[in-house]
Homo-oligomer: A and B are copies of this chain.
């Protein structure tokens, strides 16, 4: 564990947020002690959250020595550059780094909107959404290739960017009738390997709880079957 004082590093998060999990995974991989503050979302944003993320008013926020950093991929890069000891979360070679950032960006540009379509739709629209999402997974499976992790032999930036969606994808599969294990076996094997890491398994939300929330959300929005 790093000698960083817990009070120096604060994470404002929400248990269901995959982006909060991403930041917590990065801190755990670096062995950084931190104080975790659970926000009462989506309704009751705390004054601390509004103060530290006035632009988006969203979690996660990393507050380091009083200074806020927002947006999870930016936070993970900040963590990597600030605590240089221990494992490196990103390659130091500029080309390899650019490729890692490219794929993490691809994940957020496609997987998050892809899942939002699924939980907000039904029938043919939902079916189309699932096809599209599985298409993105196939692209990611192809990028993973035969490597254990996206970056090669060690768990890194792209793995962190994607594994934080795991519990959600399991839960959404129950709603939208897809199965990551069957439909994307390579990606499932990679996820199983990632889930063996305490940094990951300890912070990901319980898929059953996510499932319950989606069902409630769909009832509220008239999209239940």
Contacts and interface: CB of A to CB of B under 8 A. Distances in A.
Interface in A45-73: 55, 64, 67, 69-71
A35 interface: no
Number of chain A interface residues as a range: 20 to 34
A97 B70 contact: no
A75 B74 CA distance: 16
A98 interface: yes
Contact of A95 (B69, B71, B97, B99): B69
B71 A102 contact: yes
8 contacts: A55-B106, A69-B95, A69-B99, A74-B105, A77-B101, A78-B97, A78-B98, A82-B94
Interface of A: 55, 64, 67, 69-71, 74-75, 77-78, 81-82, 94-95, 97-99, 101-102, 105-106, 139
